[in-house]
Amino acid sequence: MTPSKIRSLDIHLLAQLFEQAPDVAFFVKDTEGRYLTVNTSLAQRHGLENSEDAIGKRPRDICVGRFGLVPTDQDSEVLQTGRPLVDHLEMQWHLPHEPVWCLTTKLPVVDDEGNVIGLVGFSRDVRSPVEIHEIPEEFAAALEYFEGNLTEFNTPSALAERSNLSLQRLARLTKRLFGLTPSQFISKTRIAVASRLLYETDKPISEIALTSGFYDQSAFTRAFRIATGVTPTEYRKQARQAD
């Protein structure tokens, strides 16, 4: 068999490919974490008129506050260590004021000598690919109950028991329906509820923490920062400024 002559693909060809995936923000970056190419979806999420406006810039240059610093720090980690970031659940800001949950993957690009010369990656929107009527009835009822009683579900086992499912069956369902593990789904739901309360109400952070199912404000702040890159207070301020 004749070896394939395809050794590499032009990065702009990859960007054209991802133009057909509006729910994915695609990018290639150089050793300094600057964009070499992006698809239209990424540009639109940052309020840019066209993809070229992002070229040569870092995330912190086109996204205000911590929402821009977090992906910039992620890039530095991948570029310095050569370790990939795979399916990292995080909240991103889709201008003008729409928080979007994504699974982000970033892979180092290496040359023939093994040196990291850039990175390639994408952030995929987390959205249910099926209609609600396709969700098993007991599972749907458990999800509805969960969203109104976040304090009662600390583990995937608790959610599985409420759904009358095995852990394995629960894991298959959350992966197929939401693209998430049970733990990721629980975390996303709690943070999503908290972010809505931060944006829509003036309730104290401590009260929102308990309402969202966290033990205390410190645990809430840690989890919220991991998911969004900002503290609850910073999120409230930036969300209202963006609005």
Query: Average pLDDT, stretch 200-229?
Result: 90
- What is the value of pTM for the model shown? 0.63
The pLDDT tens digits of the residues spanning 56-100 come to 999 989 876 666 777 888 999 999 999 999 888 777 766 555 667
Strand order across the beta sheet in which 98-110 lies = 35-38, 24-29, 116-125, 98-110, 85-94
Q: Quote the pLDDT of residue 32.
A: 94
